[in-house]
Amino acid sequence: MRQLIAAGNWKMNLTYQEGLALAEAIHNAQRAEDILVILGTPAIHLAGVSEILKDSKQVKVAAQNCHKEEKGAYTGNISVGMIRSTGADYVILGHSERREYHGETDALIAEKIKLVLSYGLKPIYCCGEKLPVREAGKHIDLVAQQVTEGLFHLSAEDFQKVIIAYEPVWAIGTGVTASPEQAQDMHRCIRTLIADKYGAAIADSTSILYGGSVKPKNAKELFAQPDVDGGLVGGASLKADSFVAIINSF
Ligand code: PEP
């Protein structure tokens, strides 16, 4: 049985105080017990949110990015060691906004994934196609390439620590959600690809999240798909009531 997960990506939103209040509200909310909740906070919030959640087995903290080097003259960046020292357990990598605005490639993300794993942290690897790619019918090939280049350098042992998030770029922050069938089709393809590379048992135990305008009103239908193991949620993770409603949609 694979882990069901509701992950939030706060992006560059919420002051420090607002972030702590949101973490506190989610920590104290009535939540389904078997769902792993991950809060992807801005770097500056990591330590404070981790402190609030330090005794929680169900609510964990993620950074939204890290640098590929362990330390050095990289002004404004944060290292994996810094992230780990805050108490965070996860790092979101390869988000489409990082790919688009910071030119991150699969090769660079693959390097970061290796580094994150070597520090005992777990990557949440984002992949997904832009609209013209889907319209050209090339979305499955593109995502297969992202998954192969981003992740398939890992040993089977390391691969099992990875969470995958399929996030069609045309659905992120647009209010346009992939249909449950579109999400299921892609998730099935990703799982088949994993089975071909690492075997059926590992494929069956890999959590694959859907991201792209997940809201309380559509989460249940998406999460009901057999290969959709939860969501990576942007906008709707910024308010406790909407995010808790999503957590309770499985
Ligand atoms: C995201 O930031 O990964 C995301 C899916 O955002 P939204 O839910 O707002 O589309």
Q: Please report, in tens digits, the pLDDT of each residue of the chain (250 residues total).
A: 799 999 999 999 999 999 999 999 999 999 988 999 999 999 999 999 999 999 999 999 999 999 999 999 999 999 999 999 999 999 999 999 999 999 999 999 999 999 999 999 999 999 999 999 999 999 999 999 999 999 999 999 999 999 999 999 999 999 999 999 999 999 999 999 999 999 999 999 999 999 999 999 999 999 999 999 999 999 999 999 999 999 999 9
Q: Is 95 a catalytic residue?
A: yes
Residue located via tokens 């290796």: 114
Residue 51 belongs to domain spanning: 5-247
- Of 95, 97, 139, 187, which one is the catalytic site residue? 95
Is ligand 1 within 6 A of the CB of residue 40? no
CATH number at residue 156: 3.20.20.70
- Residue 22 makes CB contacts below 8 A (sequence gap 6+) with 10, 14, 39, 238, 239, 240
Domains of the chain: total: 1
Would residue 97 show up in a list of annotated catalytic residues for this protein? Answer: no
What is the pTM for the complete model shown? 0.97
Closest approach atom of ligand 1 to CA 175: 10
**Intra-chain end-to-end CA distance of the chain, in Å:** 14
Distance 173 CA to ligand 1 centre (A): 5
Residue 209 in contact with ligand 1 by CB distance below 6 A = no
User: 81 CB less than 6 Å from ligand 1?
Assistant: no
Ligand 1: centre distance to CA 62 (Å): 15
The helix (H) or strand (E) run that includes residue 86 is: helix 80-86
Q: How far is the CA of 72 from the centre of ligand 1 (A)?
A: 31
